């Protein structure tokens, strides 16, 4: 069993020469290390933090923001082993096939791979997040047997299902650092270093290869890693900072020859109380409003998603609408329910209203971006600034899907819907964010459209790959963890081939 090495204990000026270095001990970095565990590769995993939260380490994430209100850059992510899985909610859902397609109604859309390319990796990703048997959109019968589902008429919205990462006693989802620490230790060929901060990705003079990494500890130690291959897995913000700050050979930064690194930043807007749903028949089953354990132990929660056919027809992005909590209607609301139910010949004497929330997919926007500032962190690395934007059309398109949902409720005589927000200010009042950092090193076969290619390799740099949701060129509304893990496991297979 290997030890977790505290980099502060290394002699100054140490040089490590592994086959592969993985920068970042979050879900992607840990999963990649485990995927390559016990192979012939000598692997070093560099984690900036330790086993627990440390404010001094976390402070290296601080940065500036402009544009629409967004989570502080040092609040939406965590810098210790396990990364941001240490505060995730455990929500899992695979992306849909359409999420990978180039869609003429969504500029900059289209992955260089299809969902099929990930199919083989989803089962292992599902194991890693400990979400149990793969059910997702095959859950209707199981859950309907527990309590009847609300019928939806035919149309553009269907009942979809989230699964949840395992609940263990009082520990909610899988925190990758704690959960997989022993597995990392058990891997003969993986050496994890904690408190090891990469401060520079140093290219060879021709700019085509990573020559070495500069690594530092907060107590002043400096060492070097000279690997054959590098995988950057620090998340959608920190990947950008390292690439842009490493500008000694390529003045624009590593992989940034086409000014793409840091652009197309995205997250999931999760505004609350976007609509009011009335169920004419009364209270909805618990699985609509909270995660519910099925008889087979799988934890599920229902959501309302646009069908691929509706997305094509209406030109709308992905979205997942969820039931939040029961609400009381005002007099107009009561009049709306009474009048509509009478007009449809439905008994609504037990009607119950609920607030709805959602996770929306943003359209890719090159101007929603991260750049470096003049301010530096404790190790001298420039801090980030986020220019956060959300277009009126992002709200309008989601509203189109909500209206279709309302139409279906009326068609099925199951209920009705109130659209609570009309203007941008309404949406922004209850705006929250998923704190998933996406898109900043987007994947494309064309170096002018993306930072990495279909294998996750940085265009123009032969031995540098990127893992994680920063490579997503479009974002879906599905929470990214399960999907980025599948993509990372695929990268693992690719690395086995190229490093054989």
List residues binding other proteins (CB under 8 A).
276, 331-336, 338-340, 342-345, 403-404, 406-407, 410-411, 416-420, 422
Taking the complex as a whole, the smallest distance from the CB of residue 393 to other proteins amounts, in Å, to: 19
Nearer to other proteins, 114 or 339 (CB): 339
CB of 151 to other proteins, least distance (A): 14
CA 144 vs CA 30, 151, 302: distances in Å:
37, 11, 11
Q: Closest distance between other proteins and the C-beta of residue 332, in Å?
A: 5
> Which contacts of 253-257 are long-range, i.e. CB under 8 A and separated by 24 or more positions?
254/201, 254/203, 254/210, 254/458, 254/461, 254/464, 255/441, 255/451, 255/452, 255/458, 255/459, 255/460, 255/461, 255/464, 256/451, 257/447, 257/459, 257/460
Reduced to 3 states, what is the DSSP secondary structure of residue 94?
A: coil
The least CB distance from residue 314 to other proteins, in Å, is 11
Q: Which is closer to other proteins, CB of 286 or CB of 411?
A: 411
Task: Please give the Cα distance from 16 to 213 (Å, whole number).
Answer: 10
Residue whose CB is less far from other proteins, 128 or 277 = 277
Quote the CA–CA distance of 68 and 391 in Å, as a whole number: 10
Nearest approach in angstroms of CB 158 to other proteins is 17
* 87/407 with CB nearer other proteins: 407
In angstroms, give the least distance from the CB of 430 to other proteins: 15
Q: Looking at beta carbons only, is 181 or 324 nearer to other proteins? A: 324
Closest to other proteins by CB, 198 vs 353, is: 353
Q: Which helix (H) or strand (E) holds 159?
A: strand 157-164
**Minimum distance between the CB of residue 160 and other proteins, rounded to whole angstroms?**
21
Least Å from the CB of residue 346 to other proteins: 10
Of 222 and 272, nearer to other proteins (C-beta) is: 272
Residue nearer to other proteins on the CB measure, 117 or 419: 419
Nearest to 175 by CA among 304, 49, 313: 49
Contacts of residue 474, Cβ cutoff 8 Å, sequence gap at least 6: 99, 100, 106, 108, 109, 110, 111, 361, 364, 439
Task: Give 82's DSSP letter.
Answer: T
Q: What are the structure tokens assigned to 83, written together?
A: 């990364």
Packing angle of the helix pair 122-129, 27-35 (nearest 10 deg): 120
CA 52 vs CA 128, 211, 378: distances in Å: 21, 31, 19
């Amino acid at each position: 069993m290997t030890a977790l090495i505290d980099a502060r204990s290394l002699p100054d000026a140490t040089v490590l020469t592994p086959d592969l270095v993985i920068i970042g001990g979050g879900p992607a970095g840990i999963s990649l290390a485990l995927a390559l565990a016990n192979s012939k590769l000598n692997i070093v995993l560099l984690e900036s933090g330790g086993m627990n939260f440390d404010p001094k380490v976390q402070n290296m994430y601080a940065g500036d923001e402009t544009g629409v209100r967004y989570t502080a850059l040092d609040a939406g992510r965590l810098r210790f082993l396990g990364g941001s899985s240490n505060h995730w909610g455990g929500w899992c859902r695979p992306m849909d096939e359409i999420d990978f397609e180039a869609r003429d109604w969504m500029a900059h859309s289209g992955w260089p791979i299809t969902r099929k390319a990930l199919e083989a990796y989803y089962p292992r990703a599902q194991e890693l997040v400990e979400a149990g048997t793969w059910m997702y959109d095959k859950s209707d019968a199981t859950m309907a047997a527990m309590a009847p589902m609300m019928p939806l008429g035919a149309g553009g919205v269907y009942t979809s299902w989230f699964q949840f990462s395992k609940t263990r006693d009082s520990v909610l989802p899988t925190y990758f650092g704690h959960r997989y620490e022993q597995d990392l230790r058990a891997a003969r060929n993986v050496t994890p270093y904690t408190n090891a901060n990469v401060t520079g990705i140093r290219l060879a003079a021709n700019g085509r290869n990573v020559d070495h990494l500069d690594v530092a500890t907060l107590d002043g130690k400096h060492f070097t890693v000279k690997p054959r291959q590098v995988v950057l897995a620090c998340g959608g913000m920190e990947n950008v900072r390292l690439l842009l700050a490493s500008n000694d050979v390529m003045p624009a930064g590593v992989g940034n020859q086409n000014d793409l690194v840091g652009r197309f930043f995205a997250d999931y807007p999760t505004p609350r109380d976007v609509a009011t749903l009335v169920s004419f028949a009364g209270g909805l089953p618990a699985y609509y409003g909270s995660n519910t354990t099925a008889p087979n132990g799988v934890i599920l929660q229902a959501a309302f998603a646009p069908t691929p056919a509706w997305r094509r027809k209406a030109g709308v992005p992905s979205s997942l609408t969820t039931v939040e909590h029961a609400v009381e209607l005002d007099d107009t609301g009561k009049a709306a329910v009474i009048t509509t139910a009478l007009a449809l010949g439905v008994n609504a004497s037990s009607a119950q209203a609920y607030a709805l929330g959602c996770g929306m997919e943003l359209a890719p926007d090159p101007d929603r971006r991260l750049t470096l500032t003049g301010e530096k962190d404790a190790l001298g690395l420039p801090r980030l600034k986020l220019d956060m934007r959300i277009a009126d059309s992002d709200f309008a398109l989601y509203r189109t899907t909500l209206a279709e949902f309302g139409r279906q409720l009326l068609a099925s005589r199951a209920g009705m819907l109130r659209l609570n927000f009309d203007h941008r200010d309404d949406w922004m009042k209850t705006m929250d964010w998923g704190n998933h950092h996406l898109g900043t090193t987007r994947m494309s076969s064309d170096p002018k459209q993306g930072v990495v290619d279909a294998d996750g390799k940085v265009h123009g740099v032969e031995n540098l790959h990127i893992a994680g949701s920063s490579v997503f060129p479009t974002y879906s509304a599905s929470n990214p963890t399960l999907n980025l893990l599948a993509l990372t496991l695929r990268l693992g297979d690719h690395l086995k081939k190229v490093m054989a």
